């Protein structure tokens, strides 16, 4: 067999030469073995095997580079690495079985040398193929991650071109015509292995929702989850609250399984329709996350719905600042500052004005609690035990926590 008869032609004539038929059959058979992987991904691989078996020719670098390009093409076409490798191994096996009698008629040493030459080509070609495939997949992942991050940024900003966003969201399975809500997850310190966390959340949220209309990414050190949501049942708005609770608990439970990042804090915004609804839900979730941290809530999952009263208070910030300043700034005169007295008031109100329970929560004695409450009465003129004073003090304490006072100075009226 000459070199020309062993080469599969790129442009096959209408009736291929009989000498070429066996190579074409080898390629077709290998494609079937690999589940229908296109024979074009073999390139000149069969030629390299035939030349190695018949002439003992070693593979050259430029030929391996061509195999590498085929590996990248396979990755870009979304064909699995296993199927591509199977195509190449099956082609080698079939070619060796179907080699013309010119090889089989040789003596034992010649056959052994031919087999060694073929195995060397298979080894180098498959290694090159797999390495190029892996490189291409990494490039694709990096490209997709960049696109995902840019899409998340534009969705959460809410001021991008709707038509362009719809087109960019489609590859991620996101239907912007649906109702969506946003959940945020904050780790205890800095965000740990983001890829692991994203993969874990995607898997569990996909399983819960049963479709692809979910997007998970990172932004500003937080994990962002955009999910579809069903509108609340007419006359039963509690159904939306229950769904928020379920989603938040699901995210927190899954993240708590990870080795790093614990304890996690999760906030869930309310569900809204359309593109701008995503941005609105995100702002609610972000505000809820910040508020939960300042309020030091015990529950690691916070729903924006539960913080509506605080949002109402903050809408009139000048009034809240005035209340805190008028009622609580006298506490700064206490030894140790206002902090211990504010913590005591917070615990006192949270436990239903029960001093013994407040002491347990603060890990101090009951006598310390009563002493601090007396100091509040003396310094502010408001008695925490007096129902007529209690509302003013509690509103002022909540306002101080929302404004992060006294850790931060009170805002100056504009």
User: What is the tens place of the pLDDT at every residue in 165-174?
Assistant: 888 887 777 7
pLDDT band at 62 (very low <50, low <70, confident <90, very high): very high
User: Is residue 381 in some structural domain?
Assistant: yes
What integer is the mean pLDDT of 66-77?
92
What integer is the mean pLDDT of 172-192?
83
Q: Which segment of 4-13, 21-30, 256-265, 347-356 scores lowest on mean pLDDT?
A: 4-13
Residue 171's domain comprises 163-311
Per the structure, the count of domains in the chain is: 3
User: Is residue 150 in some structural domain?
Assistant: no
Would you state the pLDDT for residue 146?
81
Name which of 11, 19, 89, 23 is nearest 50 in CA terms.
Answer: 23
User: Is residue 375 in some structural domain?
Assistant: yes
Quickly count helices (H) and strands (E) in the chain: 17, 6
Do 303 and 352 belong together in one domain? no
For the record, the structure tokens of 138 come out as: 């990494």
Would you state the pLDDT for residue 319?
86
Do 172 and 305 belong together in one domain? yes
% the chain with pLDDT above 70:
87
Give yes or no for residue 242 having a pLDDT over 80.
no
> 218 CB contacts (<8 Å, ≥6 apart)?
149, 191, 194, 198, 224
Would you state the pLDDT for residue 307?
81
Q: Which is higher by pLDDT, 170 or 31? A: 31
User: Is residue 388 in some structural domain?
Assistant: yes
Would you state the pLDDT for residue 83?
92
Give yes or no for residue 2 having a pLDDT over 60.
no
Give yes or no for residue 141 having a pLDDT over 80.
no
Evaluate the omega torsion of the peptide bond into residue 157 and state whether it is cis, within 30 degrees of 0.
no
Do 303 and 322 belong together in one domain? no
Q: Which segment of 147-151, 262-266, 336-340 scores lowest on mean pLDDT?
A: 147-151
Do 181 and 282 belong together in one domain? yes
């Amino acid at each position: 067999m000459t070199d020309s008869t062993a080469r599969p032609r790129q442009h096959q004539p209408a009736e291929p030469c009989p000498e070429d038929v066996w190579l074409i059959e080898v390629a077709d058979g290998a494609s079937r073995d690999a589940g229908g992987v296109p024979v074009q991904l073999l390139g000149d691989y069969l030629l390299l095997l035939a030349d190695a078996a018949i002439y003992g020719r070693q593979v050259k670098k430029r030929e391996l580079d061509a195999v590498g390009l085929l590996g990248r093409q396979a990755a870009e076409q979304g064909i699995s690495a296993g199927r591509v490798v199977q195509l190449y191994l099956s082609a080698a096996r079939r070619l060796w079985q179907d080699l013309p009698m010119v090889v089989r008629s040789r003596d034992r040493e010649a056959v052994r040398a031919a087999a060694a030459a073929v195995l060397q080509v298979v080894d180098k070609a498959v290694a090159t193929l797999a390495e190029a495939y892996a490189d291409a997949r990494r490039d694709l992942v990096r490209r997709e991650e960049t696109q995902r991050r840019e899409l998340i940024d534009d969705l959460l900003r809410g001021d991008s071109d709707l038509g362009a966003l719809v087109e960019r969201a489609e590859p991620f399975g996101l239907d912007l015509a649906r109702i969506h809500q946003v959940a945020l997850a904050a780790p205890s310190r800095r965000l740990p292995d983001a890829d692991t966390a994203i993969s874990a959340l995607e898997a569990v949220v996909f399983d819960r929702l049963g479709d692809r209309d979910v997007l998970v990414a990172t932004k500003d050190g937080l994990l962002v989850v955009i999910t579809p949501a069903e509108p609340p049942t007419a006359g039963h708005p509690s159904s939306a609250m229950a769904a928020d609770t379920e989603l938040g608990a699901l995210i927190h439970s899954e993240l708590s399984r990870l080795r790093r990042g614990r304890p996690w804090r999760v906030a869930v915004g309310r569900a809204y329709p359309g593109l701008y609804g995503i941005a609105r839900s995100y702002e609610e979730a972000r505000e809820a996350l910040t508020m939960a941290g300042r309020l030091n809530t015990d529950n690691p999952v916070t729903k924006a719905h539960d913080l509506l009263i605080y949002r109402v208070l903050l809408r009139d910030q000048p009034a809240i600042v005035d209340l805190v300043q008028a009622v609580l700034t006298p506490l700064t005169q206490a030894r140790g500052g206002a902090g211990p007295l504010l913590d005591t008031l917070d615990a006192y109100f949270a436990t239903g004005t029960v001093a013994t329970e407040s002491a347990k929560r603060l890990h101090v004695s009951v006598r310390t609690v009563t002493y601090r409450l007396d100091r509040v009465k003396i310094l502010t003129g408001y008695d925490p035990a007096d129902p007529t004073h209690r509302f003013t003090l509690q509103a002022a304490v909540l306002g101080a926590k929302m404004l992060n006072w006294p850790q931060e100075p009170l805002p100056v009226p504009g």
